[in-house]
Amino acid sequence: MWRACVWMVVSLGVSLQGPSVSWSDDVQDFTLPSATDGSLIRPSDYPGQVILINWWRTSCGYSQRESPRLVQLYEKYRNQGLVILGVSDDDAETVAQVPDYLKRYGIPWAVGLNDQGEFTREIVRPRTDGSTPANYLITRSGQLTYLGLDRTPEDWQKLEEAVARALEEPPTAPQTTMTRELSPAHAFSLPNLSGETVSLSDFAGKPLVVNFFTASTCDWAGPVLSKLHQDLAGRGLQMVGIDLYDDDAAIQGCIQRHQVRYPILRGDQATQQAWIGSSSGWATFFVTSDGKTAKRILDSVENGLEDLVFLKYAEHLLGSW
């Protein structure tokens, strides 16, 4: 899949007095799986600090030019409260290059993977077409500002000026935590392929992965989910698939193709709307053992990172979210 490295329009600017969104109003905390270990990355872990979020990709020449400058910026301002969080937009064909990239440029900050979750859905897509490198700034008082793309000397100067101004802002008291409250998963009671009713309550007290699919989308994550179930069911991970409206023959085709051994249910419109909120034919939810939705991934892309991302989130469901 081709991904844009630059966005051929004028960037949106960097003024902290310009368009910004209160973190507590429209933009909440997000979670990303680390690109280098099994940890989760959350901005809420850095209350009262200035956070520069760098959206980048290993194959992007503009990202390669920007990375040494970011390292210098970090060294210059880290003692004044600057935190940098990286988000790699690499896909399955290039993600293996991320560790070498970080080592080559001496990048010391945490870097997350693009999981197609709330960071992409709520922060990137409403503001850009996803081109790299792009930067976002969270001030000490919790204001999020899109700083635009970094491709010219003027872009970089504006970025550094915005960081310096943000660092002059005194910490708020009391500091907000920016924590996103987890919502209870929506109840469902649906028939399996044998006509027996399966309900969300049947999985109470157990970590659960819920995958909505159709015959035309089951190949997107089918192999990953089947392997997850095979590897982790013995440790307590539960999984259920919900097909959206296909006939039995089409559903059986998906089951046989991916050697599915977890329950498959026949979906309905009410359940689809309650969980997904749209007519989308694919979505995956990670539900904690106390019945709360920890992660909503409502999209899948060509050469996506489901094999890496889903395993990391499943491990956290089995441990402590």
Residue 17 pLDDT greater than 50, yes or no: no
Residue 285's pLDDT is 98
Distance CA 43, CA 147 (A): 17
Contact 144, 6 (CB under 8 A): no
In this prediction the pTM is 0.90
Q: Is 76 helix (H, G, I), strand (E, B) or coil?
A: helix
What pLDDT shows up at residue 170? Answer: 86
Q: What pLDDT digit, counting tens, does each position of 228-241 carry?
A: 999 999 999 999 99
Arithmetic mean of pLDDT, 183-204: 97
CATH class of the domain comprising 183-318: alpha beta
Are the C-beta atoms of residues 200 and 185 closer than 8 Å to each other? yes
d(CA 241, CA 99): 34
Give the mean pLDDT of 87-116: 97
Q: Is residue 32 within 8 Å of 51, Cβ to Cβ?
A: no
Both tokens assigned to 299: 């999209």
CB atoms within 10 A of CB 273: 12
Q: Which two tokens stand for residue 23?
A: 């973190």
What is the side-by-side strand order in the sheet with 50-56? Answer: 21-22, 143-149, 134-138, 50-56, 82-88, 111-113
Q: Which residue has the higher pLDDT, 228 or 176?
A: 228
The closest alpha carbon to 86, from 67, 73, 61, 72, belongs to 67
Q: How far is CA 169 from the centre of its chain?
A: 29
Interval 123-156: pLDDT, tens? 999 888 889 999 999 998 888 999 999 999 999 9
The predicted model gives 30-44 an average pLDDT of 95
Positive or negative, the CA dihedral 165, 171, 174, 178 is: positive
Asked if 21-168 and 183-318 have one fold, the answer is yes
Q: Decide yes or no: CATH 3.40.50.300 for domain 21-168.
A: no
DSSP state of 63: H
Gap between the terminal Cα atoms of the chain: 32
Q: Is the pLDDT of residue 46 over 50?
A: yes
Which sequence spans correspond to the domains of the chain? 21-168, 183-318
